[in-house]
Amino acid sequence: MQIRVTKASNPSNKKKVFCTLVAIGLAMIITSVIIAVMGHNPLNVYYSMLEGCLGTSHRIKQTIITAIPLVVTAVGIGIAFRMKFWNIGAEGQILMGGCFATFVALYFKNLPAIVLLPTMILLSAIGGSIWALIPAILKAKFNTNETIVTLMMNYIALKWVVFLQYGPWKDPNAMGFPKIANFTDNAILPKLFGVHIGWIIALILVVVIYYFINHTKIGYEIQVLGESENTAKYAGMNVRKIILIAMMMSGAICGLTGMIQASAVNNTLTMDLTAGVGYTAIIIAWLSNLKTPWMVVVSILFAILTQGASYIQTVYQIPQAAAEVIQGIILFCILGSQFFINYKVHVKEVA
């Protein structure tokens, strides 16, 4: 028997829907087995997962709060991915954005919120874009591998924040406990309809970036560059300039996530600021096919999954690790189905 894999030229919508449904079904079987082994009724657990993320207004708010950083970061990463520039460095860009915003929040805390918050937003965008520009310049000048460089930059950013948290920014009033002082109220994003205004920022970004990618010259250039660098060069585009601009924007938006999370969610900077958002957003950007509006939908689905897994943990007293396994299996199956959508498997009997 011979197995051959070829790329499917243009997968039909029918096939996409079908593969995704099979993946969800498969995920449900596997997780059902695990849940049943743990002695719970899978249907009840699935129902509880939904109840846990949508059951009360409090839970819906929590789900939205979980989705906000995913949307913003996915939108940011998406710009670089459009150009086939693999920005794995969102984690680091979020941390540096958070770090710059925290600098403003800690040292200019007497400014009124109307001045302080926009300054924090601006600085976080600058912080994130500096962190993204370093690998972009290295790529444009020396053609370094951006995947490796952006990934490594994450660890540098993380260690930098750890240094600040345990060193110069350690709160002297915390009796030796290594934490950075909480922000004052004027450095915390206000709420609208019970959820911090990060959701408005996220929606505005989605619209702006959608327009930018699809209806501006530079957005078009980014897309062309992503399709083929040679085409871009033939058309007389300045490839280096496009790389730098796109990465600067990508990093700036990721940095903004850092400000939103530090200000509205953590009320301070901590080494746990990202909570893995930078990596999850990569998956979201992919599953959305890099289509900006879809990122909102996929992010909300992810938030539902996260929130639901957290809820069943307390309700059924399932160990955290088991809840994460369930989450992982669902994700694994759905990501796996992407393979069958984009590739064809031919099985041939060999005599």
Partner 1 sequence: MFKRGLKKALALTLALTFALTGCAQSGGTTQGKPSNEVVATENNEKNVKAGFIFMGPVADGGWSQSHNEGRLAAEAALGIETLYKESVPETQEVEKVARDMIDQGCNVIFAASFGYMDYIEKLAKEFPEVTFFHCSGYKTAENMSNYFGKIEDARYLSGLVAGLQTKTNQIGYVAAMPLPEVVRGINAFALGVKAVNPEATVKVSWTNAWYDPAKEKEAGSALIDGGCDVLAQHQNAAGAQQAAEEKGVWSIGYHADMSAVAPNANLTSAVWNWGPYYIEAIQSVMDGTYTAESYWEGIEAGVVDVSPLTANASAEAKEVVDAAKAQMLEGTLKAFQGPIVDQAGNERVAEGSELSDEEQLSCDWFVDNVIGEINQ
Instruction: Give the footprint of partner 1 on this chain (CB under 8 A).
Output: 18-19, 21-22, 25-26, 28-29, 32-33, 35-36, 39-44, 47-48, 56, 58-59, 62, 166, 175-179, 182, 265-267, 270, 272, 275, 310-311, 313-317, 319-321, 344-345, 347
Of 73 and 270, which CB lies nearer to partner 1 in the complex structure? 270
Q: How far is the CB of 331 from partner 1 (least distance, A)?
A: 17
Of 207 and 345, which CB lies nearer to partner 1 in the complex structure? 345
* Residue at token pair 């051959």: 4
Listed as own residue / partner, the contacts of 121-125 with beta carbons closer than 8 Å and 24 or more positions apart are 121/256, 121/259, 123/259, 124/97, 124/98, 124/100, 124/255, 124/256, 124/258, 124/259, 125/97, 125/252, 125/253, 125/255, 125/256, 125/259
* Residue at token pair 């310049």: 137
Of 178 and 301, which CB lies nearer to partner 1 in the complex structure? 178
Burial status of residue 264 (CB atoms within 10 A of its CB: 0-12, 13-18, 19 or more): buried
Strands (E), 290-349: 343-348
Of 137 and 341, which CB lies nearer to partner 1 in the complex structure? 341
Q: How far is the CB of 240 from partner 1 (least distance, A)?
A: 40
Of 53 and 153, which CB lies nearer to partner 1 in the complex structure? 53
The DSSP string of 31-44 is: HHHHHHHTTS-HHH
Of 178 and 203, which CB lies nearer to partner 1 in the complex structure? 178
Q: How far is the CB of 120 from partner 1 (least distance, A)?
A: 17
Q: Report yes or no: 221 and 79 within 8 Å, Cβ to Cβ.
A: no
Burial status of residue 88 (CB atoms within 10 A of its CB: 0-12, 13-18, 19 or more): buried
Please state, in angstroms and as integers, the Cα–Cα distance from residue 299 to each residue in 115, 163, 277, following that order.
31, 31, 11
